[in-house]
Amino acid sequence: MTKKYVYSFHEGNAGMRSLLGGKGANLAEMVKIGLPVPMGFTVTTEACLNYYDEDEKISEDMLSQIFQALDNLEREMGKKLGNNEDPLLVSVRSGAVISMPGMMDTILNLGLNDESVKGLAAKTENERFAYDSYRRFIQMFGNVVMEVEHDVFESIIDSVKQKKKITQDTEMDAEDWQEVINLYEDKIKEVTGREFPQDPKEQLLMSIEAVFKSWNNQRAKVYRRINKIPDDLGTAVNVQIMVFGNKGDDSGTGVAFTRNPSTGENKVYGEFLMNAQGEDVVAGIRTPQSIEQLKDVMPDIYKQFIDICALLEKHYRDMQDIEFTIENGKLFILQTRSGKRTAQAAVKIAVELVNEGLINKEEAILRVPAGQLETLLHRRIDPNAKVEAIAKGLPASPGAASGHVVFDPDEAETIGNEGQKVVLVRTETTPDDIHGIVIAQGVLTSRGGMTSHAAVVARGMGKPCVSGCEAIKIDYEKGEFQVGEIVVKKGDIISIDGSTGEVIVGEVPMIDPELSDEFNQVLKWADEVRTLKVRANADTPHDAQVALEFGAEGIGLCRTEHMFMAPDRLPIVQQMIMSETKEEREKALSKLLPIQQEDFEGIFKVMEGLPVTVRLLDPPLHEFLPNAEDLIVEISELKAKGCSKELEAKQEMLKKVRALSEMNPMLGLRGCRLGLLYPEIYIMQVKAILKAACNLTKRGIKVITEIEIPLVGHELELKTLREIVEETADKVFAEEGTKVHYFIGTMIELPRACLTAEEIANSADFFSFGTNDLTQTTFGFSRDDAEGKILPHYVEQRILSDSPFIVLDRKGVGSLMKMAVEKGRDVKSDLLIGICGEHGGEPSSVEFCHMIGLDFVSCSPFRVPIARLAAAQAAINFAR
């Protein structure tokens, strides 16, 4: 049996999307429900795939099906394609399964040739219309099928206009268009060596082929890559009889959304142009009128159209994006699809559709793309503003900011305290720059990745950051940076967009984040269905407070090293590191103890009654010291000045920096290794945590403490440290004269920890996946290097579909996680397991965490709403 490659609009329906493409399936559906749709047929996506299988040939079988369908259409319409007296004209429209607006090509007015154009002119008694239609057809066909550059046609029109001394297309008369047509035909012959085809059937087949081919044009490929649409779906082709919006002043064409796609407002939103065809509305040839004005121009048509909008919305139960054409006072619908919308609109529309009884809460939850919510949670550049970026770096911390360029953190502090807005621009930042970051509106660095100091600190503070913007060349000496020819000086205003990585000269209009009532409503519904708990990563009481406001149910990761980096503490931390003996070190640590204790009290208090996971010190110690190059410069300066005391101190520090320097700090002395070599550091931290807990408990505040040991790869590492923690705890409880309950667990961030999770679980009350490090160690990528230099190529070449640092790699990293969950729970069935890597706020990763049975995800405060929604979507899609 042969395959059915062609379906009449009478045969299809909306459910046949994968075969007929979105456009074809919806055209058939609209025919089915009795809407005024110009008739036609659809050549299927399978036909497109077959075309590629047959080395880009239309098979005999397909050919005869196409001609049969054409024959039926001609009979239905009582006209023949391209007939000389009264030609049937058609459009040939691409239509993929997933809509790819404007990416592939459509040809209008097919069937016209040097003879039939005369028939059209006579039949419509409108010569100008006929020749205008013909020249449009030649132009589209010449460009799409015969691959003649668009400009070639434009310049021919211009030359004729010039000769006639006219400026507008609308001033061209039939004769002018005839002249254009002759020039077009000559030019096509000259450029391609082939005649413009006069046989309508040949025109049709060539156009269908061209649409098949356009599936693989550059635009379409890029669009699919960006939107993660598979390459092997193919496109369908719709052949549809033409209706004309360019027949005069009682004709027109337009596009409309059934609700406002930008705000979600429940009001038809769109534009139309009288006496125009096809893409004229979007092409910007003339300025279109807003759809409301149609009420004045053609009241009956307006009413009919508004009714159809309502009907289509009801029928599809979603906001629709509709194309229409009016021909001599008669309305035709040419397309409907679910309309693309902003996050804000998605939320509003979903909630209102529930209130209108069109969808249920679960559908509403699924209708809001969780990943897009981020744009609602930060100050951002007004999407209506026209901005031009001079450079692009990594989108390291979302949100946008404008301010005066400052290169020096001290200066940033001074100017900032005077009330000026500043953007701190550095090659990269270190803990020494922190005061500059605190005061700045945002941070721009020319080096460093998504986990660079600047990026991490900025994200923690909820400040915009663009990192690794290699295009900007900073000259601290001159107080300027350059991008190509552009020079930006200290004091100039720039704007950065940490959600896109863009750097813009000057101030740009911004809009504030809006947590609308509808947004809160969707999140409330999400909370009702999700099973995953959502916690936040927060290091300060302020962050914890923000996290609570966004709905966090605890803290999944409190990083203590950020407390070490604050400017008032760094000197003590450095003193601790510089210590030669244990005693000296303990002395410094004892100064840190009350400070840390205060930090923890603050956080525990905010999170009253909710669990807080505190991670003991993780990063290598050298991160708290200045870098060697800077020290060398300072030393030589001091030498020149002859200040011997300071000089000695700096030389000591340099010695220490060198002693601590590692070939590969990521795999060096960090995490629990640090705790095993210098137990006094962890002991101090545990004391601070538990004293804080005791203090609050005494005051009647409920504290749930989880002490977390980082970077464990061997059970004995954890066992040893667990004993130290327990001993310390007993001492604290004896001193305080009270006891609090606490848990000890570990971050799972090394493959060996996953592989031996059944052993590690013996010493752990909980696991928390540190998927940033787990991804680094599983792939053997150092994130900061891979993100800038390797991963973009991998994604480009489709070796990886996403950066594994953004979207959790289910196959590799995910398998290790799954194994760790199973092994861990084999030993302890009630083992609490979560994830605290940045993946915890990324929708696809959250889904995976749900699927493998984690108890919680933890992410930065601003992503908590995203995680809540994503967790609900996972619960709906994958009931455990």
Dist CA 399 CA 465 (whole Å): 8
CB of 243 to ligand ADP, least distance (A): 5
Which of the choices ligand ADP, Mg ion, none does residue 62 contact, using the CB cut-off of 5 to 8 A by kind?
none
Helices within 289-447 (DSSP H only): 294-297, 299-316, 343-355, 361-367, 409-417, 434-439
Q: Which amino acid type is present at position 378? A: H
Give the number of other CB atoms < 10 A from CB of residue 780.
7
User: Is 335 one of the binding residues for ligand ADP (CB under 6 A)?
Assistant: yes
- Out of 44, 45, 65, 91, name the contact with ligand ADP by CB under 6 A: 91
Q: DSSP labels for 682-713?
A: HHHHHHHHHHHHHHHHHTT---EEEEEE-S--
The tokens 């538990």 sit on which residue? Answer: 690
Give the number of other CB atoms < 10 A from CB of residue 292.
12
Which of the choices Mg ion, ligand ADP, none does residue 792 contact, using the CB cut-off of 5 to 8 A by kind?
none
Q: DSSP labels for 567-613?
A: TTTHHHHHHHHH-SSHHHHHHHHHHHHHHHHHHHHHHHHHTTTSEEE
CB of 63 to ligand ADP, least distance (A): 22
CB of 164 to Mg ion, least distance (A): 33
Which of the choices ligand ADP, Mg ion, none does residue 765 contact, using the CB cut-off of 5 to 8 A by kind?
none
- Out of 83, 240, 451, 775, name the contact with ligand ADP by CB under 6 A: 240
CB of 285 to ligand ADP, least distance (A): 13
x-marked contacts with Mg ion along 735-764 as a string, rule CB under 5 A: --------------x---------------
User: Is 334 one of the binding residues for ligand ADP (CB under 6 A)?
Assistant: yes
Closest Cα to residue 153, out of 173, 129, 169? Answer: 169
Which of the choices ligand ADP, Mg ion, none does residue 325 contact, using the CB cut-off of 5 to 8 A by kind?
ligand ADP
Dist CA 512 CA 344 (whole Å): 12
Whether 10 is catalytic is no
Which of the choices ligand ADP, Mg ion, none does residue 203 contact, using the CB cut-off of 5 to 8 A by kind?
none
Dist CA 491 CA 494 (whole Å): 9
Region from 240-248, 439-447, 480-488, 799-807 binding ligand ADP, contact rule CB under 6 A:
240-248
Q: Which 3 state secondary structure label does DSSP give 96?
A: strand
With beta carbons less than 8 A apart as the criterion, state whether 641 and 669 touch: no
- The residue (of 413 and 618) whose beta carbon lies closer to Mg ion is 618
CB of 753 to Mg ion, least distance (A): 11
- The residue (of 102 and 594) whose beta carbon lies closer to ligand ADP is 102
Tokens representing 623 are: 């991160």
Q: Which helix (H) or strand (E) holds 289?
A: strand 289-290
Dist CA 482 CA 486 (whole Å): 6
CB of 514 to Mg ion, least distance (A): 31
User: Is 242 one of the binding residues for ligand ADP (CB under 6 A)?
Assistant: yes
DSSP E strands: which ranges in 428-525? Answer: 442-445, 465-467, 473-475, 480-483, 486-489, 493-497, 502-505, 510-511
Which of these is catalytic: 465, 836, 849, 859? 836
Output the CA torsion 298→303→308→314 (10° steps): 150
Region from 101-109, 342-350, 490-498, 707-715 binding ligand ADP, contact rule CB under 6 A:
101-109
CB of 255 to Mg ion, least distance (A): 8
- Out of 27, 243, 333, 870, name the contact with ligand ADP by CB under 6 A: 243
Q: Which 3 state secondary structure label does DSSP give 335?
A: strand
Which of the choices Mg ion, ligand ADP, none does residue 93 contact, using the CB cut-off of 5 to 8 A by kind?
ligand ADP
Tokens representing 611 are: 């669990």
User: Is 335 one of the binding residues for Mg ion (CB under 5 A)?
Assistant: yes
Q: DSSP labels for 611-637?
A: EEEEEPP-S-GGGGS--HHHHHHHHHH
Which of the choices Mg ion, ligand ADP, none does residue 240 contact, using the CB cut-off of 5 to 8 A by kind?
ligand ADP
CB of 90 to ligand ADP, least distance (A): 7
Which of the choices ligand ADP, Mg ion, none does residue 773 contact, using the CB cut-off of 5 to 8 A by kind?
Mg ion
User: Is 26 one of the binding residues for ligand ADP (CB under 6 A)?
Assistant: no
- Out of 209, 265, 271, 279, name the contact with ligand ADP by CB under 6 A: 279
Region from 308-316, 335-343, 475-483, 513-521 binding Mg ion, contact rule CB under 5 A:
335-343
Long-range pairs for 646-652: beta carbons < 8 A, 24 or more residues apart: 652/578
The pair phi, psi for residue 496, each rounded to 5°, is: -125, 150
CB of 71 to ligand ADP, least distance (A): 18
User: Is 599 one of the binding residues for ligand ADP (CB under 6 A)?
Assistant: no
User: Is 46 one of the binding residues for ligand ADP (CB under 6 A)?
Assistant: no
User: Is 374 one of the binding residues for ligand ADP (CB under 6 A)?
Assistant: no
User: Is 246 one of the binding residues for ligand ADP (CB under 6 A)?
Assistant: no
Closest-approach residue to Mg ion (CB): 773
DSSP 8-state assignment for residue 171: G
**Number of shown-chain residues binding ligand ADP (CB under 6 A):** 16
Going by C-beta distance under 8 Å and a sequence separation of 6 or more, which residues neighbour residue 208?
A: 43, 58, 66, 92, 237, 239
DSSP E strands: which ranges in 388-440? Answer: 389-392, 394-397, 400-406, 422-426
User: Is 108 one of the binding residues for ligand ADP (CB under 6 A)?
Assistant: yes
Q: Which helix (H) or strand (E) holds 151?
A: helix 150-164
With beta carbons less than 8 A apart as the criterion, state whether 565 and 434 touch: yes
User: Is 93 one of the binding residues for ligand ADP (CB under 6 A)?
Assistant: yes
- Out of 42, 45, 83, 106, name the contact with ligand ADP by CB under 6 A: 106
- Out of 102, 383, 491, 506, name the contact with ligand ADP by CB under 6 A: 102
Per CB under 6 A, contacts with ligand ADP among 146-165 are: none
Whole-number Cα distances in Å, 46 to 84, 97, 202, 371: 34, 11, 22, 32
- Out of 278, 399, 442, 865, name the contact with ligand ADP by CB under 6 A: 278
User: Is 38 one of the binding residues for ligand ADP (CB under 6 A)?
Assistant: yes
With beta carbons less than 8 A apart as the criterion, state whether 574 and 654 touch: no
Which of the choices ligand ADP, Mg ion, none does residue 468 contact, using the CB cut-off of 5 to 8 A by kind?
none
Which of the choices Mg ion, ligand ADP, none does residue 770 contact, using the CB cut-off of 5 to 8 A by kind?
Mg ion
Per CB under 5 A, contacts with Mg ion among 767-796 are: 770, 773
User: Is 518 one of the binding residues for ligand ADP (CB under 6 A)?
Assistant: no
Whether 469 is catalytic is no
Going by C-beta distance under 8 Å and a sequence separation of 6 or more, which residues neighbour residue 879?
A: none
Which of these is catalytic: 378, 453, 562, 622? 453
Dist CA 667 CA 620 (whole Å): 9
User: Is 326 one of the binding residues for ligand ADP (CB under 6 A)?
Assistant: no
User: Is 289 one of the binding residues for ligand ADP (CB under 6 A)?
Assistant: no
User: Is 717 one of the binding residues for Mg ion (CB under 5 A)?
Assistant: no
User: Is 408 one of the binding residues for ligand ADP (CB under 6 A)?
Assistant: no
How does 81-107 read in b/e, with b if 16+ C-beta sit within 10 Å? bbbeeebbbbbbbbbbbebbeebbbbb
With beta carbons less than 8 A apart as the criterion, state whether 39 and 241 touch: yes
Region from 366-374, 402-410, 637-645, 765-773 binding Mg ion, contact rule CB under 5 A:
765-773
Burial class (CB in 10 A: 0-12, 13-18, 19+), 802: middle
Which 3-state string (H, E, C) describes 731-744? Answer: HHHHHHCCCCCEEE
User: Is 288 one of the binding residues for ligand ADP (CB under 6 A)?
Assistant: no
Catalytic residues: 453, 836
Residues that bind Mg ion (CB under 5 A): 335, 749, 770, 773
Residues that bind ligand ADP (CB under 6 A): 38, 91, 93, 101-102, 106, 108, 240, 242-243, 278-279, 323, 325, 334-335
